[in-house]
Amino acid sequence: MVEQIDLTQVNWARAQFALTAMYHWIFVPLTLGLSFLVAFFESIYVRTGNEEWKRLTKFWMTLFGINFAIGVATGIILEFQFGTNWSNYSWMVGDIFGAPLAVEGIFAFFLEATFFAVMFFGWNRVSKGFHLFSTWMVAFGSNLSALWILVANGWMQFPTGMKFNLDTARFEMQNFWEVLFSPVAISKFTHATSSGFLLASLFVVGISCWYLLNERHQTMAKRSIIVAAVFGLLSATYVIFTGDEAAYTVAQKQPMKLAAMEGLYVGQESAPLVAAGLINSAKLPGDNMDPFALEVKIPGLLSLLANRDPGSFVPGINDLVFGNQEQRVIGAAERIEKGKIALELLRTYKDARKSGDQAGAEAAQQAFAGYKDHLGYGYLNSPSEAVPPVGLTFYAFHIMVITGSIFPLVLLLILYFQIKGNLASHRWLLYLGILCVPLGYVSSQAGWVLAEVGRQPWAIYGLLPVTVANSNLTTGAVLTTFMIFLAIFTLLLVAEISIMAKQINIGPEEN
């Protein structure tokens, strides 16, 4: 029996999740990076004893506080949605995520709550050394709490270290370390946190550039620029390094996402990287149309990025949809057949259990093991449903990489002229420094769009499509909460920007 899935409901639930995650990610990367910058500033203050550095530290700490206060708990909303909109999924992964998220909840909460209080309210109440220690702990604590959620996301992108329990319909953790140290989880953590460091550095540099343009608080601005530009440059280098690693991991574990983010339909050896391009939106898998209306290619670079070998074969969307025997690529078409068998075996197992046929249940379970990796494909109606939205994935990747290549150059120039002592006379560069603040956010959001849109149609890669992960709710219910969130988050964003702008305008407290 086949039941209708209300796709409109699924799509509203997806839109709601995307909306919440994107708003949440406005606050998070700044917290991750600014916490470290504040710790650097305060360390300099403690070493030098110079009150100017204390004033500077307190100023950036206030902005950190604004961002934290407005952003705090926006992530909890995601967890609400799991239980309400995505109940099948939540049930199935409860065993995997329960542990990491519980550890995060307890550990990070106590770490953060204790040290946050000292950091904000303890200036004249505890020793300088303990205050500094608390600031550092806030930085480590915030980043550590990002670890668990990124591990969870990494697992959804590349499910590992688990076993599917046919009786409980749950994925059960078999090996915690395999989940924690999966290559996808590691690349998520390193890339996402370092991109936060970069974004926060751009934020500090940008605001400081604004002060220099307006000839206000110039000493503070120059000092902030030196520290943030150095941190930003180091972070940008690391972001590019981890981004390269992320692309390699994507190529190995999610080849369809890689093909989509490069608009590669026909797989090839020595595949070129499309540095920039305009996607032909009418293009479909298997047709003869050109995937691009316009493109600039760099020969061999995609093969190098994907397999660390410039001559290697990179499968395209067509190969992954229809299969390519010569290159031993299994296509979605074949996987759908196997997936349908996996689903049938699940049903057989259940029926056998119900009727007390132990031998039949065991046989079905054993047979299921041979098909389980294709389970999710059993839900697809046609092979092309395995293809994510190519345009969005492609543009998100390219926006991230192009902006990501500009940031280190801008930071390097700003640092160079600052050290030379004539930064303020290069007004164009100051404007560019300010422009990099919104661009940093765009880049960072594009990263998540790539990661999440690029893995469609899956909630759990290859095992559970989003259309099966959701709850049996009405569209109206999901639409209502979508609108409520839109209103609340927009209000929060307006509050963030206006309070932040006001505080920046006030500047550091006078002594």
- Point out which residues bind ligand HEM (CB under 6 A): 157, 188, 191-192, 195, 198-199, 239-240, 243-244, 246-247, 250, 257, 400-401, 404-405, 440, 443-444, 447-448, 450-451, 454
Report how far residue 309's alpha carbon sits from residue 300's, in angstroms, rounded to the nearest whole number: 9
| Long-range residue pairs from 104-113, CB within 8 A, at least 24 positions apart, any chain | 104/145, 104/147, 104/148, 104/149, 107/144, 107/145, 108/141, 108/142, 108/144, 108/145, 108/148, 111/137, 111/140, 111/141, 111/144, 112/138, 112/141, 112/142, 112/145
Report how far residue 141's alpha carbon sits from residue 27's, in angstroms, rounded to the nearest whole number: 16
**CB of 264 or CB of 343, closer to ligand HEM:** 264
Q: Give the DSSP H or E segment for 164.
A: strand 162-165
DSSP conformation letters of 264-325: --S-EETPPEEEEEEE-TT--TTS-S-SEEEEEEETTHHHHHHHS-TT-EE--HHHHHH-BT
**CB of 75 or CB of 378, closer to ligand HEM:** 75
Q: Which does 157 bind (CB under 5 to 8 A by kind): another protein, ligand HEM, none?
A: ligand HEM
Report how far residue 125's alpha carbon sits from residue 104's, in angstroms, rounded to the nearest whole number: 29
Structure tokens at 350: 């259940």
Q: Which does 123 bind (CB under 5 to 8 A by kind): another protein, ligand HEM, none?
A: none
**CB of 240 or CB of 478, closer to ligand HEM:** 240
**CB of 236 or CB of 352, closer to ligand HEM:** 236
**Cβ-based neighbours of 70, under 8 Å, separated by 6 or more:** 27, 492, 495, 496, 499
Q: Which does 81 bind (CB under 5 to 8 A by kind): another protein, ligand HEM, none?
A: another protein
**CB of 35 or CB of 444, closer to ligand HEM:** 444
Q: Does 101 bind another protein (CB under 8 A)?
A: no
Report, in Å, the least distance between residue 75 CB and another protein.
Answer: 11
Structure tokens at 321: 């949809």
Are 112 and 75 in contact by the 8 Å Cβ rule? The answer is: no
Structure tokens at 342: 């996996």
Report, in Å, the least distance between residue 435 CB and ligand HEM.
Answer: 14
Q: Which does 448 bind (CB under 5 to 8 A by kind): ligand HEM, another protein, none?
A: ligand HEM
Q: Which of residues 464-503 bind another protein (CB under 8 A)?
A: 464-465, 467-468, 471-473, 480-481, 484, 488, 492, 495, 499, 502-503
Q: Does 69 bind another protein (CB under 8 A)?
A: yes
Report, in Å, the least distance between residue 360 CB and another protein.
Answer: 16
Structure tokens at 371: 């098909």
Report, in Å, the least distance between residue 84 CB and ligand HEM.
Answer: 25
Beta strands in 373-446 (DSSP E): none
Report, in Å, the least distance between residue 54 CB and ligand HEM.
Answer: 29
The residues that touch another protein, with contacts defined as CB under 8 A, are 1-5, 7, 62, 65-66, 69-70, 72-73, 76-77, 80-81, 83-85, 87-88, 90-92, 167-170, 343, 346-347, 350, 378-381, 385, 464-465, 467-468, 471-473, 480-481, 484, 488, 492, 495, 499, 502-503
